[in-house]
Structure 1
Amino acid sequence: MKAKQVCAVLILLIGVAVAGRAQELTGRVVDEANRPMEYVNVVAYALPDSAFVAGAITDASGAFSLPTNGTATKRVLKVSFVGYETQVVEAQPGIVITLRPEAAALGEVTVTADRIRRSAGGYTANLLGSTVTQGRQTDEILAMLPGVTRREGVLQVLGQAVGTIYVDGIRLTDTKELAALPADRIRRVQVDYTPGSSEFASTRGAVIRITLRKELDGGYYGYAMAGADVMPKYGFSRDFAYAVYNGRFNRLSLYNVFSYTNHNLISDDENTYSFLRTGSEIRTEGQYRGWTHGLYDRLSLTYDLTPRNTLGTSLYFSTDHATPRNDVATLKPRIHSGWSDTALYRTLTETPYTYRTYQATLRFDRELDDQGSTFNIGADYLRQFTRNRMQTVRTLPALAPDTLSNRSEETTNMLEARTSLNKNFASGLAIHGGLAYRRITVDYDLTNERHLRTLPYAEGQMPAAYVEVQGLIGKRLQYGVGLRVQENRIAYRPDAAANLTVHDDWDAYSSFNLLWMINEARKISATLNYTEAVDDIPYSALTTYREYGDEHSYTTGNPDLVSPKSHTLTAALDLFDHLAFNAIYIYNERPIYYATRVDPALPSVTYTKPMNAKYERLFGLNAEARFDPLPWWKLRGMVMYTLFGSKSEDFDVHGQQKYYFSLSNTFRFTPHMGASLEGYYEPTYHFTDRIYRTVYEMSGSVYHTFLRDRLALRLNFKLFRHGRVIDTETPDLRFVEANRTRDQYFGLSLSYSFSGGRSVNVKQTEEIQSYEKIRDKR
């Protein structure tokens, strides 16, 4: 019944969309390789008096649409884009216009395209030539986009963690790749508030798609950056180096990014355990230190087999190795109040680890027609290896040495294949469909604190099929509806000799989005999005292996977990490109939470275990304002409010509230010097059975460029941060975790960029391009 209802809605919307587009002139703009060109100016003039009729800017598929007003007057189209020869052609329905690069390398030019283009699923930000990209990396610029924040290195959209990030169609395995990519290489960023039916149903949160600038044939670009950070309390804390190269040689395009980091892991923690049934208390004070060394490299190659056929591949490797140590002192309470100055005993925990990741992707793209229809087929192989070892030695009292040790190895292999067909029609209708398959296997090799070895194994497979329909209803409504049918199969065995336990589930997941362009001239629009999803269970959460953080606490898994399902509804209202109001509602069935309890066999030891709750509900409101108080000063403020409720065997909570405030300032004092200053404040709030105490932070940067902006010197800093305190209370235990780290830092970096061959030197500007400006230049 559900599928029939969705199909009926699709058929109705298709008919309305086709009728609504009958009075419009549509066409498409491509380059010499027949690739679609976005943000191209298309202006229609009436003959013989050359009177202005209408104007438009092409979308990501190179398509444009101009109203005809039902008249039969002959018209011409003027098509222009920076770095390409301007074309003037006779207007014809379904016309395809090819732009050719200017014969010589261009000097400094100005890009004046609209920065934000709203769509039914979210928006696309054009960053080509934007001043805010100067002197910044990609992870920083993303946090400046509407609705996007970055907290403790994690990107969020509308207060929820980002689900997936793509760069030129390649799904990133780790967001640290964004730190190495200079923001001025970004052409556009597409932000979808919900994943849509084309993503696997386990994708939660927004999807961000980054498209990089392309070099002209024979052009190349390079970038190198190195720097170091110092923390006033702890000293030298990090050094790093990045290198990026991008070039095009005839039919071959090459992109490579390399990163090396050397980072000191620093954390000062204070944990208090109050065992309510026995009345005893202890406090631990830990100092976590250790250097981690990491590097990665990604090489991407794209070859144009023919003007309509492209073959691409990407190879990725990363490795991280660290040898951290945690020095923990256990204190006992004084008779009257406070805590003893002398440690009851002291332990030293060493936790060396090694992470390695390998990824290889292969993709074939074929353009089917002049409307931008495509056929795609691709494969993605991912292998991750993790080795952890933990050894705890009690160093005080010296006469009673005690050693606790364990180790683990985890090898994950994932193979994914997908094919899709995307059909675009001249009426503006688009139908996307595809098949996908993902298989994951995880092999464990575990040795616990009693030197017992186990070999757990887990596997999952997800075959799926999906269809999406997108189009227009009249001139102001854009819609998208989709349906995904997917199997979610998880199998697990606790040891090599045990039988597999299988959880298998077939289900259909729908999605819907709608954009109402209330007033395009004044940039007033509203969007509505809905999606269904199923969560992946972390396979490590299934094993009953105990991983000790210290001798008083450990984490373990739960083989009885089942996959949670979620329903997400978002709504947004954007006003005048300066104000945005967003709402989000999430209902989760059987969500996973982590329960902290006392080990019955060890009354002085606590453990944390994943459990399925019955449900949880979340309602959030977000208001964002963007203004330019002065020509050189951009200001963005954000307020978020969240209302939460959940029920499980450990708690039944309703009406838990959370507030979040952030302020971001971007300054451009001269064409070569700028700065930023950001801060956030999050007051105390309750979440399930935990109390999260107030946390706040202020950080920023200053940069200056030299040698015609090729050389850049930058200072990063974190002025202050109040660390998190988490208070957990159960019938058996009250547990207070306090982060006492003083993580203020100052960092200095130097970068240099170079380019050659045929290229476009883009002058950075904040002007807004529109077809009216072209009309004024007639």
Structure 2
Amino acid sequence: MKRLSTCILLLAMAICASGQTLTGKVTDEQQQPLSYANVVFLSLPDSAFVAGAVSGEDGSFSLSAEGGKGVLKVSCIGYTTLYKDCGPGEQLSLQLKADAQLLDEVVVKGDLPKTRLKGSSMITTVAGSVLEKAGTAENLLDRIPGVSAGGGAVSVFGRGAAEVYINGRKVRDSSELDQLASDNIKSVEVINNPGARYAASVKAVVRITTKRAPGEGFGFNNRAYAKYNKDWTVLDQFNFNYRSGGFDLSGMLAASDGHAWSERNVVQDTYLDKLWNQHMHMDEKEHSQNLYTMLSANYTFGNGHALGVRYNWKRQPRYDSWGTLDSEVLQNGEQDELLRSVYESTSRETSHTLNFYYAGQVGKWNIDFNADALWNGNDTDGFTDEQVTTPSGTETDRRQVNTFSRADNSLYAGKLVLSREWLGGELSLGGEYSHNTHGNDYVNPEGLLEDDHSEIREGNASGFVEYGRSFGSVYVQAGVRFEHVAADYYEGDKRVESQSKQYNDWFPSATVVVPAGNVQLALSYASDIVRPSYHMLRGNIVYNNRYTYESGNPLLRPQVAQNLILNAVYDWTQLTLGYVHTKDAIVTTSIPYSDTDPSIALLTNTNAPAYNHTFASLSLTPTIGIWSPQLTAAVVKQWYHTDTPWGRLNLDKPLVSLSWENSLKLPGGFLLNADASWSSLGHEENTEVKRQLWSVNAMLYKGFLNDRLTFQLQATDLFNSTRSRSLVYLGSLRTFYTDAEPNSRSVSLTIRYKFNAAKSKYKGTGAGSSQKNRM
């Protein structure tokens, strides 16, 4: 924390006094804030460029107006450009009018989701489009070109998992995407090159901007959800908000009770002096219960200053999983023995998260400060009863294995970002520091597996600088980030030198945006990193059966990638091309558990040799009357070499996917979504996809009482068709074949009622994001 305090002090000293400025706010015809509007101050009488700015999420802007009276030019895609005479020191309220276009005698105004490039971001306007009726924020994100969302996870094509922000605050709990209705969303910004401002482990960012909140006083939003998939999952969530002037108090209470199941067949082949085949059938069920609470307070004062605090508490009183594992073991094709394992596991988890933030402006500098703290603990009890018999049915051995594990995490982090207009562009700089501790205790009373009492203490200090500016119609942004990571690994109270590491890494990034006629082009370069999760770094061994164990690898190195991405947008057509060079990719492998019995497989993680891959995606999103289709075609091709029992193979077969999403506005205010998707055979790192996948989904949405009461009926994987088959090459001794029964077919109903529902003004963005993700 001393480093953080020093960094904050030095940066704060750089803030200087304000000069002559123009400030104001840009809104649309409904008085909703317009973000990302271009605001340019031109001198008189020559109309020379003086300064420029882009309106923020709340529509506000501030720019230098030195030199006396001039003309302010305000423009935004989809709106008529506004010119206004003004001078230094003025505070302006500017309203833009929508620009209706006459195309083939059909007036298109707001029904088509507009997507435009802004730097390396692709911004989709949701307000006024068919996307407003998608249902929840998660439903909406799954319909944004290049984005897939489901089960609380959000990913961007070609980049992987994305961090999601709502009005600048990072989403920590996937339920937030469910509690946010799509008709309260103004725009979605997809960034596949987040730049130096974000941690180097962040490959993509999705930023959601909501509409301006209605009303003072008390409001609430209640959601009831039920899903059936061979058993019931139910959830009820109550959100409230109280607003008075600049004070804002909001909270959330939620509880869920869920069931899940999985069934799959696995064949593990081991190539030694004999060929060992283990044919396994797994049948598992899960039952979880969760409680969630959140309370936040926010106060806005003065000219754009805001501060607040937010507390989240999550309790999982129980997570039970149980099932059977039946195995048939063969030597050189002849049955050797049969195994039957009956297992059960019970977990309990409690998590606390605290965030404090300040956002404001001092002189010409915008300030964004966040401090975070996190504590959580997880206890897991496991039991396995394994019976071994001969092919004739005679029992030869019986083994019972009990395990207990506890994982504890703590994190303290701070982040400061300063930005201002400088030399006709925007300069951003800042720093972040986090310290976290991960403790792991693992006990096996029978002594079959070694006990583990380990701890990782890690400090992460980083700093960045980024600058962006327009040169005529060309926009350029460049930045660099430095990260210092020092991790100490302890066994008991003894520091283990070989597993303690330090890293000092630089991560440059750059973007160039160039118009080519009516086509917007953005070329981006970025370097990013994937640091191993603490689960991957664990030292304990987990018992599956007598032939298969699992473990972490404390010697794993981070995975580093160099990325080159091209985005192109023309009207309702979007194209993305990418090239990636990956070093030390983290993949699953297998090694012999012991030299005395190499037939026992120890599944673990390792770093693969460097490889390259490319990706391409094309999306078409027109609107034809009441029909809004979206057709997307994508391909990923890699050049990856791996060791197999048959020698070294080149895995380079491309993976192709197609999706066809359709929204239909029906009479009576109903909205019907009908979607289909398909993916091909191919290779992904050391995995070979052995079966084509396809699925069909449908959703019916209807609102009543001016959408205060809404119903959403959804059917997923109607034909139960997503049965997957894959072959994983686990080094020169083993392969792992999986045939998984689909468990995705389900039907769900969501009922939401809201009264004077106002979104919180909370602006905290959080700190230590990359470390939290690893926990």
Is the TM-score greater than 0.5? yes
Cross-structure match for 1:104:
none
Structure 1 runs not aligned, ≥5 long: 1-24, 45-55, 81-86, 101-109, 760-778
Instruction: Tell me the amino acid that sits aligned with residue 295 of structure 2.
Output: L
* Alpha-carbon offset, residue 213 of structure 1: 3.3
Whole-angstrom distance in 1 between the partners of 2:757 and 2:405: 49
Cross-structure match for 2:741:
740
**Aligned: 1:726 with 2:718:** no
- Which of 543, 549, 554 is the equivalent residue of 1:554? 549
Kept after mapping to 2: 8 A contact 1:566/1:586: yes
* Alpha-carbon offset, residue 38 of structure 1: 2.9
Whole-angstrom distance in 2 between the partners of 1:28 and 1:753: 32
**TM-superposition CA deviations, 1:8-54 (whole Å, max 9, x none):** xxxxxxxxxxxxxxxxx9864279xxx9863789999xxxxxxxxxx
Cross-structure match for 1:194:
193
**TM-superposition CA deviations, 1:328-368 (whole Å, max 9, x none):** 2223679999x99xx93421110222233221110111223
Cross-structure match for 2:251:
256
* 1:550–1:173 Cα change, 3 Å: farther
* 1:448–1:477 Cα change, 3 Å: farther
* Alpha-carbon offset, residue 181 of structure 1: 2.2
Cross-structure match for 2:378:
386
**TM-superposition CA deviations, 1:477-505 (whole Å, max 9, x none):** 11211011221222212333353442112
* 1:507–1:632 Cα change, 3 Å: same
Kept after mapping to 1: 8 A contact 2:436/2:459: yes
Kept after mapping to 2: 8 A contact 1:149/1:159: no
* Alpha-carbon offset, residue 311 of structure 1: 0.6
Give aligned pairs, total.
Answer: 689
Cross-structure match for 1:461:
459
**TM-superposition CA deviations, 1:408-429 (whole Å, max 9, x none):** 111111211111211025x751
Kept after mapping to 2: 8 A contact 1:424/1:431: yes
**TM-superposition CA deviations, 1:666-721 (whole Å, max 9, x none):** 22214621121223212111234432222222222112222332222221112033
Kept after mapping to 2: 8 A contact 1:391/1:404: yes
- Which of 501, 506, 515 is the equivalent residue of 2:504? 506
* 1:639–1:551 Cα change, 3 Å: farther
Kept after mapping to 1: 8 A contact 2:276/2:332: no
Cross-structure match for 2:302:
306
Cross-structure match for 1:368:
362
Cross-structure match for 1:327:
324
Cross-structure match for 2:404:
407
Cross-structure match for 1:692:
689
Kept after mapping to 2: 8 A contact 1:613/1:649: no
Q: TM-score, normalised on structure 2?
A: 0.80
2:139 match: secondary structure: helix
**TM-superposition CA deviations, 1:504-553 (whole Å, max 9, x none):** 1222211101212334xx4x200111111232221222232112344542
Cross-structure match for 2:260:
265
Cross-structure match for 1:126:
125
Cross-structure match for 1:316:
312
Instruction: Tell me the amino acid that sits aligned with residue 382 of structure 2.
Output: M
Kept after mapping to 1: 8 A contact 2:587/2:686: no
**TM-superposition CA deviations, 1:167-210 (whole Å, max 9, x none):** 2333233434312322223233222112210112222x211122
**Aligned: 1:206 with 2:207:** no
* 1:549–1:517 Cα change, 3 Å: farther
**TM-superposition CA deviations, 1:578-624 (whole Å, max 9, x none):** 11111111112222211124434445532211111221212111111
2:622 match: secondary structure: strand
* Alpha-carbon offset, residue 752 of structure 1: 1.3
Whole-angstrom distance in 1 between the partners of 2:73 and 2:417: 33
Cross-structure match for 1:38:
35
Residues 335-484 of structure 1 aligned to structure 2 (within 5 Å): 344-369=338-363, 373-394=365-386, 400-424=397-421, 428-448=424-444, 450-451=446-447, 452-474=450-472, 476-484=473-481
Kept after mapping to 1: 8 A contact 2:220/2:756: yes
Superposition RMSD in Å:
3.8
Cross-structure match for 1:14:
none
* 1:63–1:225 Cα change, 3 Å: closer
* 1:635–1:304 Cα change, 3 Å: same
Instruction: Tell me the amino acid that sits aligned with residue 313 of structure 2.
Output: F
Cross-structure match for 2:164:
165
Cross-structure match for 2:750:
749
* Alpha-carbon offset, residue 297 of structure 1: 2.6
Kept after mapping to 2: 8 A contact 1:265/1:289: yes
* 1:494–1:43 Cα change, 3 Å: closer
Residues 166-245 of structure 1 aligned to structure 2 (within 5 Å): 166-203=165-202, 205-216=203-214, 218=216, 220-231=218-229, 234=230, 236-245=231-240
Whole-angstrom distance in 2 between the partners of 1:698 and 1:170: 34
**TM-superposition CA deviations, 1:422-470 (whole Å, max 9, x none):** 1025x75110011111222101111137445321011222111111101
- Which one is further off, 156-165 or 561-570? 156-165
* Alpha-carbon offset, residue 737 of structure 1: 1.3
1:184 match: secondary structure: helix
Whole-angstrom distance in 2 between the partners of 1:112 and 1:229: 31
Whole-angstrom distance in 1 between the partners of 2:626 and 2:523: 34
* Alpha-carbon offset, residue 395 of structure 1: 5.6
* 1:652–1:248 Cα change, 3 Å: farther
Cross-structure match for 2:289:
293
1:561 match: secondary structure: coil
Whole-angstrom distance in 2 between the partners of 1:711 and 1:460: 48
Kept after mapping to 1: 8 A contact 2:532/2:557: yes
* 1:529–1:752 Cα change, 3 Å: same
Instruction: Tell me the amino acid that sits aligned with residue 368 of structure 2.
Output: N
Whole-angstrom distance in 2 between the partners of 1:292 and 1:242: 16
User: Percent sequence identity over matched residues?
Assistant: 17
Kept after mapping to 1: 8 A contact 2:469/2:477: yes
Kept after mapping to 2: 8 A contact 1:240/1:261: yes
Kept after mapping to 2: 8 A contact 1:503/1:562: no
Structure 2 runs not aligned, ≥5 long: 1-20, 42-52, 77-81, 96-108, 761-775
Kept after mapping to 1: 8 A contact 2:26/2:55: no
1:584 match: secondary structure: strand
* 1:157–1:74 Cα change, 3 Å: closer
Cross-structure match for 2:575:
581
1:721 match: secondary structure: coil
Cross-structure match for 1:488:
485
Instruction: Tell me the amino acid that sits aligned with residue 370 of structure 2.
Output: G
Whole-angstrom distance in 2 between the partners of 1:192 and 1:468: 16
* Alpha-carbon offset, residue 325 of structure 1: 0.2
Kept after mapping to 2: 8 A contact 1:612/1:648: no
* Alpha-carbon offset, residue 140 of structure 1: 1.3
1:344 match: secondary structure: strand
Kept after mapping to 2: 8 A contact 1:517/1:525: yes
* 1:113–1:568 Cα change, 3 Å: same
Instruction: Tell me the amino acid that sits aligned with residue 173 of structure 1.
Output: R
Whole-angstrom distance in 2 between the partners of 1:710 and 1:279: 64
* 1:711–1:487 Cα change, 3 Å: same
**TM-superposition CA deviations, 1:216-262 (whole Å, max 9, x none):** 5615542212122223xx3x231122233344211112333443221
2:183 match: secondary structure: helix
Instruction: Tell me the amino acid that sits aligned with residue 529 of structure 2.
Output: V
Instruction: Tell me the amino acid that sits aligned with residue 158 of structure 2.
Output: G
Instruction: Tell me the amino acid that sits aligned with residue 272 of structure 1.
Output: V
Whole-angstrom distance in 1 between the partners of 2:24 and 2:122: 21
* 1:258–1:708 Cα change, 3 Å: same
